[in-house]
Amino acid sequence: MSDAAERLAEVRANIAGAAKRAQREPAGIELIAVSKTHEAAAIRPLIAAGQHHFGENRVQEAAAKWPALRAETPGIVLHLIGQLQSNKAEEAVALFDAIHSVDRSSLVQALAKACAKAGKQPQLFVQVNIGDEEQKGGCAVAALPALLAEARDAGLKIDGLMAIPPATQEPAPYFALLDELAERHGLALRSMGMSGDYETAVMLGATHVRVGTALFGAR
Ligand SMILES: *Cc1c(COP(=O)(O)O)cnc(C)c1O
């Protein structure tokens, strides 16, 4: 096995183990390999090992890397996990199968327009600033109901919630809170958990984990 295949097998086994402990079906948990900053040469071994879901945090970088990689392999699913500027909404809708960073009214409006024009909608997650941190992206917890209502009124289907817990704190309570918020609003998907805490996230209801370092090594 290549290094990439070994790391992938290990992460998949860890996800399956966490799912089992929580009496969940591992099949219900999507592993997103976060390939930001990594070049095609580092990504190909993971694709060869059977990984199909990938995450990028910049539209520009993804647009430069992925069209060629996609032409090589059918069935790639591309997730945007980083902040999105409203003026890049059209490009993002064209390029990505899922957007995890819907976090404000202006972006909801830009995405609604872009999706109507494209005649398709990526899977959408509202990013919640789950720790109500000053400088962090995401919609404030208190503003979530209004943003979800606005998205609905604009004709967007929101499929789930995404969050990044405060870096310096125990993540579990924040994962539990995101799960609770998704439940409260009838949303099926929860995008939570990164290299350091994806097993905890799986035990607390993650449907999508976003793992970079544990698959690719340090950036
Ligand atoms: C970079 C990034 C990740 C992956 O982080 P690792 O710690 O390398 O697994 C996950 N989610 C988001 C939003 C990111 O920007």
- Quick: pLDDT tens for 67-94: 999 999 999 999 999 999 999 999 999 9
Check pLDDT > 80 for residue 38. yes
Q: What is the pLDDT of residues 147-205, one digit of tens each?
A: 999 999 999 999 999 999 999 999 999 999 999 999 999 999 999 999 999 999 999 99
Binding site membership of 82 for ligand 1 (Cβ less than 6 Å) = yes
Confidence band (pLDDT; 50, 70, 90) for 1? low
Measure 160 CA to ligand 1 centroid, in angstroms. Answer: 18
Q: Give the per-residue SS3 of the chain.
A: CCHHHHHHHHHHHHHHHHHHHCCCCHHHCEEEEECCCCCHHHHHHHHHCCCCEEEECCHHHHHHHHHHHHHHCCCCEEEECCCCCHHHHHHHHHHCCEEEEECCHHHHHHHHHHHHHHCCCCEEEEEEECCCCCCCCCEEHHHHHHHHHHHHHCCCCCCEEECCCCCCCCCHHHHHHHHHHHHHCCCCEEECCCCCCHHHHHHCCCCEEEECHHHHCCC
> Mean per-residue pLDDT for 48-65?
97
Measure 89 CA to ligand 1 centroid, in angstroms. Answer: 21
Binding site membership of 34 for ligand 1 (Cβ less than 6 Å) = yes
- When the candidates are 3.40.50.300, 3.20.20.70, 3.40.140.10, 3.20.20.10, the CATH number that belongs to 3-216 is 3.20.20.10
- What residue ranges do the domains of the chain occupy? 3-216
Check pLDDT > 80 for residue 145. yes
Nearest residue (CA) to ligand 1, atom 6 = 212
Measure 106 CA to ligand 1 centroid, in angstroms. Answer: 25
Measure 14 CA to ligand 1 centroid, in angstroms. Answer: 17
In this prediction, residue 2 carries a pLDDT of 74
